[in-house]
Amino acid sequence: MSQMNAIREQAAEWLIHFDAEGPPDPTDNREFQDWLTRDPRHRHVFEQMQRLWTGAAPATSPSHLGRALGAAGLCLLVAVAGLQLPRQYWQADYRSAVGEVTTVELPDGSEITLNTNSAVDVNFDKGRRQISLIRGEVLLEVETDPDHPFIVTTRDGKAEAMGTLYSVRRNDDHSLVTVYESRVRVTTGNGRESLALNAGQWARMGDAMLQSGSASLRATPDWSREQLIFNGAALEDVVGRLEEYHSGKLMISDELAASDKRFTGALPTRDTEAAISLLAGSLGLDARGFPPYVVYLDVAH
């Protein structure tokens, strides 16, 4: 996360705090005053957001820029959306911010790489090697130890390494396991279904459901190299993936959504503003709005 985005999130946290608590006035809060004086940008960003907060109008349909951008409050709501995360995320052993990809070395020499906006708990007590995926996605490069199984658990089931390299992604209604090297055994949450996956295979698991298939995979997922790679992908799919790494809201017009525009290329995940410019320039799109809070893509006229 960039330093300015971190300041925006801190300012948003203070605004939410004062809005929820009401009196006393923010000027009476010593901790808040300390934060304001720590960096001149803190006061500037806070006052800017405060004006948006107090002058906000109800947002209408986000698919129509004219009305959505007229609601200044939308900017602030988008800016603080990442703060509305479960307590488990903030209390996790390791977590990544929106747009951040981070790698952690575990006590046994294994490595885990957290995708954007992800969180895990790690349990290596009493010979265990267990990762609990709380949110998002994790890539695991596992050191072999036959006496101590390496297991990733989610709400939907578990994935036990029988080799070295695989990823687990937690979605709203299922978890996705993808194997890049060797083998992984996946088991549903109720324990009734189990399946061994080879390299190049994936499984979608729910509490009582298991589906599998094959895919042509690179050596590692594109996001682990801090880029998103597309080959003739529909624009809505490109925007959907890119938005996972963007600190604000990324929208497209109804006209653009109905078009058949497709994108081939690589977009950086660390600098989504550059990625948006690259995407817009490649497809001849118009990008406008209130960056980084709201970016709206439309057909250039």
Of the candidates 83, 99, 115, which is a domain's last residue? 83
Which position has the higher pLDDT, 75 or 284? 284
Query: Percentage of the chain with pLDDT > 70?
Result: 78
For residue 271, pLDDT over 50 is answered with yes
Which position has the higher pLDDT, 26 or 184? 184
**Mean pLDDT value of segment 6-27:** 64
For residue 71, pLDDT over 50 is answered with no
Q: Nearest to residue 140, comparing CAs of 175, 179, 107, 173?
A: 179
188 and 267 belong to one structural domain: no
92 and 143 belong to one structural domain: yes
What's the number of domains the chain is made of?
A: 3
239 and 274 belong to one structural domain: yes
Q: How far apart are CA 151 and CA 197, in angstroms?
A: 14
241 and 290 belong to one structural domain: yes
The parent domain of residue 91 ranges over: 87-214
92 and 76 belong to one structural domain: no
Q: What CATH number is given to the structural domain containing 196?
A: 2.60.120.1440
Of the candidates 214, 247, 270, which is a domain's last residue? 214
78 and 100 belong to one structural domain: no
110 and 192 belong to one structural domain: yes
Of the candidates 24, 54, 83, which is a domain's last residue? 83
- Assign 1 a pLDDT band (cuts: 50, 70, 90): very low
99 and 204 belong to one structural domain: yes
245 and 282 belong to one structural domain: yes
42 and 158 belong to one structural domain: no
**Mean pLDDT value of segment 129-133:** 96
* Mean per-residue pLDDT over the chain, rounded: 83
92 and 25 belong to one structural domain: no
Question: CB burial class (10 A; 0-12, 13-18, 19+) of residue 154?
Answer: buried
114 and 228 belong to one structural domain: no
CB 118 within 8 A of CB 85: no
